[in-house]
Chains A and B, each alone.
Chain A
Amino acid sequence: MVKRPAFDEIRDSPRDELSSLAQWLDQSDPAELGRRQQAAEATFRQLGITFAVYGEEEAAERIIPFDIVPRVFTAAEWSRLSEGLVQRVEAINAFLDDVYGERRILKEGVLPEELVLGNPQFRPEIAGIRPPHGVWAHICGIDLVRTGPDDFFVLEDNARTPSGVSYMLENREAMLRLCPELFANFRVAPVDSYPDRLLTTMQSVAPRGAASGPVCVVLTPGHYNSAYYEHSFLADSMGVELVEAADLFVDDDRVWMRTIAGPVRVDVIYRRVDDDYLDPLVFRPDSMLGVPGLIAAYAKGNVAILNAPGNGIADDKAIYSYMPEIVRFYSGGEAKLPNVETYRCRETDAFAYVLEHLDELVVKLVDGSGGYGMLVGPTASRAEIDRFREALKAEPHRYIAQPTLALSTVPTLAGEDDGLSVGPRHVDFRPFVLTGAKGVQVVPGGLTRVALTEGSLVVNSSQGGGTKDSFVLAENGQTQEAGRQEQRMGGMVQSQIASAQVASAQVASAQVAGSPTAPAQILSAQTLPAQALPAKSVQP
């Protein structure tokens, strides 16, 4: 357990904007919230918004628990965070461009050379290849934690194939449907422009020489993959093909997909498969998976791959501890978003410190993910610590350690059917940052993960974590409802949006009639045609 009391983002907040949320919470009956939450989860199951848990039987499809109490960022907090995120992602892109190019950062001794060149995440095969428009990390998910009103830290960078953005979008849809009153009281920045922004990002990095409407696709490992729902959701909401490796082939250093009308040229690939399974000719000769020749086509500049192969070197946990130096090196300034203090077990002094303080620290495998290969000292048993100590001593270079942070909490609905109550639970946050040929943008929202077990700090969905909607309050900008009018035509969820709009309009107008941003007024503002049509026929 964390000894210091954690900062609660709603209850302890000095932010005026949040008093009405606290009020809403106090006035809401937990049982009613529970009913709404169940309705949301039933919808998720029907839509198949599921993920598969590896190691369990194939059919095990679970939904990620959804919590109905939102998490809120004020406009001021968000603008500060955004600046830090843009700076960090720009540095990540510059770093990748450098280590696979000139290697200035190594030549100037900012990073130990062997840490990069000897890192299994470094891909010598692609050194010297420059992606179209010099963009490497097109889609980044930067994991943040908060410990106080103004204290945000980067816990982890995800510059390969970060997932979770579909939850950002689906959670918002669910909240709009279930708690329309919140959107009448809060001016929440819309997130549903994400698919459009992603498509624009993809189109912007199309190879020069591609036709004016470049052919973009999403590449998935297939429908047994744990994140398949997200892959199909993104392809659908962008209106592009969802392909598997077997649908693609390379001929004459160009990438084609097999369609019923014959081969069609592909210009931009948003791949959601690991580097290892991109091209068996380059990365895994033993593998049957992938598209033979893809990297050759990429090297020729004939196709854009998002994110670029080789990005693993930028979000490696061993490199992470150098991010402050990396940001300084490329931006010339201090990192606006600090790292969590990190001990590198590869360094003798740090390692000695870690061994002595195992019960206070969080120790992680540098190449682990999903909460596996991890020790949370303060909650671990004596035996667990001893076992971990042995593993650590055997291969210290594979581990880093961080102090246990008093992660902030957000009120969360907990308990079983009749004993529901709202209590604090620890959260983290993954905002999504897009980089195209024209620069970096942050979508106003993200994925809030919540540890549903009281006191737990592990938020991973594979280990019992849930998700929440994340509101970013608009300063004077668009509200959620106004933003919806023009967006998402033709997407898979269109029908749902329409019904959510109507439902939220009805409820909201009943509750806050007269409010200047009441959605009902926006909906009814459509003007009627000047000339009336003849009356509809009825049976005499």
Chain B
Amino acid sequence: MILSRTAASLYWLGRYVERADFTARLVQATVRLDVLSSRPAGEAAWTSALTVLDANEAYAATEAPVAQAEVVRYLIVDRQHPGSVARCLDMARDNARAVRIALSRDAWTAINRSWLLFERRAKPDAGTDRAMRLVEMVENETRGFEGAVHRMMRNPTTWLLRLGQAVERADNTARLLDVKYHILLPEGETVGGIVDRDQWTTILQTVSAVTAYRWLYSDGLVPANVIDLLLSRSEMPRSLAASVEEVVDLLNLLARATGRHGEADRMARTRAARVQRTKTADVIVSGLHEHLGAFVRENAELHAAIGRQFRFG
């Protein structure tokens, strides 16, 4: 038996932890792209990071320059920005606190610890170095949280939390791919040139798939392969294919345990079947941007259907 309010908090807890983690990774990868690459990508790198996070307009409103120090501060520690890692952790912890009896002690303390890190160390004027150290610590804690979630009872509590994570992950990966697609499908730039390699590496780092790529594809960094990896390879946990499968599996488990199934299950199954049938080559021909736009919209509809189905929408 789970209260509808509890279900909502668990689901949102999952979404915010995933969002904090993704944002942290994206910032790390972009810093790397900006600083370490032989041809610093500069402003373009940060604009695209902001676009992936759907934060471009909000950032423009702050009138701060699109440069590393300012954007990192905005995305990591700025509590005025609803999508900053600090705010995501606030939200995650708020939700965790509201349902703390549903969580194991380990899972709760992992969230609370990462929140305390920010409470104590995130100064609004934190420099990039400091922010990046924070990000590293947060990543450790979210990994601890993941581990704790996997040791929680295999019951609707855990499944709702992971459902939130899976829905959020699908959204993040789709946006990442969408924003970077013009880099992946370049016009003019020599394919395989230096910038390209760095850009692709950035994407793979953001979804922690550098090694996975090497295992799955033998012919070096090829744009179509990177798109294929993120769209269709269900071996890759952050791919759209894996995320949509996970959503179906979790909804099945929930249906069996609670006797509740309906619209969300149907939508999730239909979507998973379609993702499985889709050929990457066809998508590239017919338009990746349109494809991903439709995916993000559909994901939002599924999100709403989940809320209705479990009576918290």
* Residues of A near any B CB (own CB < 8 A): 45-48, 59, 222-223, 228, 232, 235-236, 241-244, 246-247, 257-262, 264, 492-493, 495-496
* Beta-carbon contact of B94 and A223 below 8 Å: yes
Distance of A46 Cα from B144 Cα, bound (Å): 14
A-B pairs, top 9 by smallest CB distance, nearest first, are A236-B101, A260-B310, A223-B97, A258-B4, A260-B7, A223-B98, A261-B258, A260-B2, A232-B101
* Beta-carbon contact of B105 and A496 below 8 Å: yes
Distance of A47 Cα from B116 Cα, bound (Å): 11
Q: CB-CB < 8 A to B260: which residues of A?
A: 260-261
Q: CB-CB < 8 A to B5: which residues of A?
A: 244, 246-247, 258
* Beta-carbon contact of B156 and A260 below 8 Å: yes
Q: CB-CB < 8 A to B258: which residues of A?
A: 260-261
B1 contacts the other chain (Cβ, under 8 Å)?
yes
* Beta-carbon contact of A259 and B109 below 8 Å: no
Q: A498 CB to closest chain B CB, in angstroms?
A: 11
B36 contacts the other chain (Cβ, under 8 Å)?
no
Q: B24 CB to closest chain A CB, in angstroms?
A: 21
The chain B residue with its CB closest to the CB of A237 is B101
* Beta-carbon contact of A46 and B3 below 8 Å: no
Q: CB-CB < 8 A to A247: which residues of B?
A: 3-5
Q: Which applies to chain A's interface (DSSP): helix, strand, loop or mixed?
A: mixed
1/0 contact string of B63-103 vs chain A (CB within 8 Å): 00000000000000000000000000000001001101100
* Beta-carbon contact of A259 and B108 below 8 Å: no
Contact flag A261-B259 (CB < 8 Å), given A46-B116, A48-B112: yes
Q: CB-CB < 8 A to B106: which residues of A?
A: 495
Q: A319 CB to closest chain B CB, in angstroms?
A: 36
Contact flag A493-B105 (CB < 8 Å), given A243-B3, A244-B5, A261-B258: yes
Contact flag A48-B4 (CB < 8 Å), given A260-B258, A492-B105, A495-B106: no
Q: CB-CB < 8 A to A223: which residues of B?
A: 94, 97-98
* Beta-carbon contact of B105 and A48 below 8 Å: no
Distance of A242 Cα from B100 Cα, bound (Å): 10
Contact flag A228-B97 (CB < 8 Å), given A260-B156, A261-B259: yes
Distance of A247 Cα from B5 Cα, bound (Å): 7
Q: CB-CB < 8 A to B156: which residues of A?
A: 260
Contact flag A47-B109 (CB < 8 Å), given A241-B3, A260-B260, A260-B310: yes
Q: B137 CB to closest chain A CB, in angstroms?
A: 15
Q: CB-CB < 8 A to A257: which residues of B?
A: 3
Distance of A45 Cα from B115 Cα, bound (Å): 12
Contact flag A241-B1 (CB < 8 Å), given A228-B97, A260-B310: yes
1/0 contact string of B104-134 vs chain A (CB within 8 Å): 0110110011001001000000000000000
Cβ-defined partner of B2 (8 Å) among A46, A259, A492: A259
Q: CB-CB < 8 A to B4: which residues of A?
A: 247, 258-260
Q: A528 CB to closest chain B CB, in angstroms?
A: 28
Distance of A48 Cα from B107 Cα, bound (Å): 13
The chain A residue with its CB closest to the CB of B254 is A260
B39 contacts the other chain (Cβ, under 8 Å)?
no
* Residues of B near any A CB (own CB < 8 A): 1-5, 7, 94, 97-98, 100-101, 105-106, 108-109, 112-113, 116, 119, 156, 258-260, 310-312
8 contacts between A and B (CB under 8 A): A46-B112, A47-B112, A222-B98, A223-B97, A232-B97, A236-B100, A260-B7, A261-B259
Distance of A492 Cα from B4 Cα, bound (Å): 21
Distance of A429 Cα from B3 Cα, bound (Å): 37
In the complex, besides A247-B3, A259-B4, 6 extra interface pairs with C-beta distance below 8 angstroms are: A46-B112, A223-B94, A247-B4, A247-B5, A257-B3, A495-B105
Q: B95 CB to closest chain A CB, in angstroms?
A: 9
Q: CB-CB < 8 A to B113: which residues of A?
A: 46
The chain A residue with its CB closest to the CB of B310 is A260
* Beta-carbon contact of A492 and B101 below 8 Å: yes
Distance of A531 Cα from B116 Cα, bound (Å): 50
The chain B residue with its CB closest to the CB of A495 is B105
Q: A51 CB to closest chain B CB, in angstroms?
A: 13
Q: CB-CB < 8 A to A235: which residues of B?
A: 101
The chain A residue with its CB closest to the CB of B110 is A46
Q: CB-CB < 8 A to A222: which residues of B?
A: 98
* Beta-carbon contact of A259 and B112 below 8 Å: no
Distance of A3 Cα from B241 Cα, bound (Å): 78
* Beta-carbon contact of B100 and A48 below 8 Å: yes
Distance of A236 Cα from B4 Cα, bound (Å): 18
Q: B250 CB to closest chain A CB, in angstroms?
A: 13
Q: CB-CB < 8 A to A246: which residues of B?
A: 5
The chain B residue with its CB closest to the CB of A228 is B97
Cβ-defined partner of B1 (8 Å) among A232, A236, A261: A261
Q: A42 CB to closest chain B CB, in angstroms?
A: 10
Q: CB-CB < 8 A to A260: which residues of B?
A: 2-4, 7, 156, 258, 260, 310-312
Interface centre among A228, A232, A235 (most CB of B within 10 A): A232
The chain A residue with its CB closest to the CB of B90 is A59
Q: CB-CB < 8 A to A228: which residues of B?
A: 97
Distance of A243 Cα from B112 Cα, bound (Å): 21
The chain A residue with its CB closest to the CB of B113 is A46
Distance of A259 Cα from B311 Cα, bound (Å): 8
The chain A residue with its CB closest to the CB of B258 is A261
Q: B111 CB to closest chain A CB, in angstroms?
A: 9
Q: CB-CB < 8 A to A243: which residues of B?
A: 3
* Beta-carbon contact of A259 and B105 below 8 Å: no
Q: CB-CB < 8 A to B109: which residues of A?
A: 46-47
The chain B residue with its CB closest to the CB of A222 is B98
Distance of A247 Cα from B99 Cα, bound (Å): 13
Distance of A222 Cα from B97 Cα, bound (Å): 10
Q: CB-CB < 8 A to B97: which residues of A?
A: 48, 223, 228, 232
* Beta-carbon contact of A242 and B105 below 8 Å: no
Q: A492 CB to closest chain B CB, in angstroms?
A: 6
The chain A residue with its CB closest to the CB of B112 is A48
Cβ-defined partner of A258 (8 Å) among B3, B94, B105, B116: B3
The chain A residue with its CB closest to the CB of B9 is A223
Q: CB-CB < 8 A to A242: which residues of B?
A: 101
Q: A219 CB to closest chain B CB, in angstroms?
A: 12
The chain A residue with its CB closest to the CB of B312 is A260
Contact flag A259-B101 (CB < 8 Å), given A46-B113, A47-B112: no
Q: B28 CB to closest chain A CB, in angstroms?
A: 26
Distance of A261 Cα from B259 Cα, bound (Å): 7
